[in-house]
Structure 1
Amino acid sequence: MHFETIALFGANGQIGQRILERLSHHPNHNFRVRAFIPPDDDLSCAGNDHKTIIKSFDLNELSREGLAKDLEGADAVVSALSGKALDAQPLIQDAAAHAGVKRFYPSEYGMHLTYRKPNDPWGYLHPVWDQKQR
């Protein structure tokens, strides 16, 4: 599958900046990137790149319809969100589907977080997993 336009959420974070850097300076392809960052934040790594459009999004004011408009024409959505911003990922995924985006790459993949030994009715939930689940 050939991607031209990538929507990148969390483009100002540690991982997001690296993803944006690689997409912007890919040696064999000229990606167009829509870099979504929180309001009142900047994206210094974008520089003067004419292929990168910086879009501000507020987690408290997101709507599926509004976000779908911003995602129209994108071939893929990459989520580099973390922490509290992960709460917005399902809404972003729904908006991407509504806009007809072909691929959605979440920032984290799920797994069953409770470990149960045979015949253990309670199980064990690691504190780190518990935090991620919240």
Structure 2
Amino acid sequence: MSTISKVALAGATGNLGPVILKELVDAGFQVTVLTRKDSTSDKSLPPSVTAVAVDYDSLDSLTSALKGHDAVVSTIGGTALSKQLLLVQAAVKAGVKRFLPSEFGSNTAVEKVSSLPVYKDKVEVQNALKAAAASGSLTYTFVYNGPFLDWGLLIGFLIDIKNKQVTLYDNGERVFSATTLSSIGKAVVGVLRHPAETANRPVYVQDTATSLKKLLALAKNATGPDGWKEEVVAVDDIVAGAWAELKSPNPDPPKFIFPFIRATIFGEGYESLYKNLDNELLGIKGLSDAELQELVNKFAK
């Protein structure tokens, strides 16, 4: 497969987009950021980056923007995930070689994960890419990295260090893979630098394999052991609650979206501990126990 040099990034805002953009630029790729017509985010882009305003509901607009690009990386999130379906069509029409959709999380290659309603849009995009690849139109890579490690510590999604609070799902002993934002960006770079080895398959990366109890122990090392509030919750209970909320007359999205996501990280049978890693191929060094403690210490200040 020929070299990839020109990359279009859809979704350069949010938590992950800016980090992937930085890693792409630092690695020497020629990057175009796709922005919405009413967006002001292009004002803060690095000088070497080109911003192109697009209409995500227009095939012609997207196709025109993608012409001449070797790859598309998408970090589109939330309710806009389905916009990627038209982006895939545009990539095919524009002759794009590689498409990395907005995965970057739980292991949707596992049926127990992909069957959850919160991943419906992601699965539809995967199917569209697989169909395009089967016809020889383009290739794809799905990047799986588990929860964002540094972001999860910062906002208290994994463990709330500053307020000394933690919810131990299924006692907090289950080990899962987790990756920092910067390493996810480096994994994207690694995929684009190894197009033949990463074509039409998922890749798995992690900075560490850890558990909530291990993170709690590290947090107690950083803050001291006193004053912590620990709650034990069964994953089966939060999944049942999420389904009940979803079936209610007026479901509240946060009450079913986040429980389902937490289940795929902390629950049994969701294969959140990645055993066949692509770290070496993609240049992900991972964190030692000492480095993980240093990372936790940063969020205890």
* Pairwise TM-score range, normalised by the shorter structure: 0.7 to 0.9
| 1:120 corresponding residue in structure 2 | none
| 1:6 corresponding residue in structure 2 | 7
Trace 1:78-97 onto structure 2 (pairs within 5 A).
78-97=73-92
Return 5+ residue gaps in structure 1 as ranges: 116-124
Shift of 1:43: 4.2
| 2:54 corresponding residue in structure 1 | 57
Measured against aligned partners, the alpha-carbon deviations of 1:20-46 in whole angstroms (never above 9, x if no partner) come to 0001112xxx21111113323314652
Q: Secondary structure at the match of 2:61?
A: helix
TM-score (structure 1 length as normaliser): 0.73
> How many positions carry a matched residue from both structures?
115
| 2:146 corresponding residue in structure 1 | none
Match for 2:64 among 60, 64, 69? Answer: 69
| 2:21 corresponding residue in structure 1 | 20
Return 5+ residue gaps in structure 2 as ranges: 122-301
Larger radius of gyration: 2
CA RMSD of aligned residues (A): 2.3
Code of the residue aligned with 1:33 in structure 2: it is V
Q: Which has the higher contact order (CA 8 A, sep 6+)?
A: 1
Q: Distance in 2 between matches of 1:112 and 1:41?
A: 38
Q: Secondary structure at the match of 2:8?
A: strand
Q: 1:58 to 1:66 in 2, by over 3 A?
A: closer
Shift of 1:15: 1.1
Shift of 1:18: 0.7
Q: Secondary structure at the match of 1:14?
A: coil
Structure with greater helix share of residues: 2
Shift of 1:57: 2.9
> Identity over aligned residues, as a percent?
32
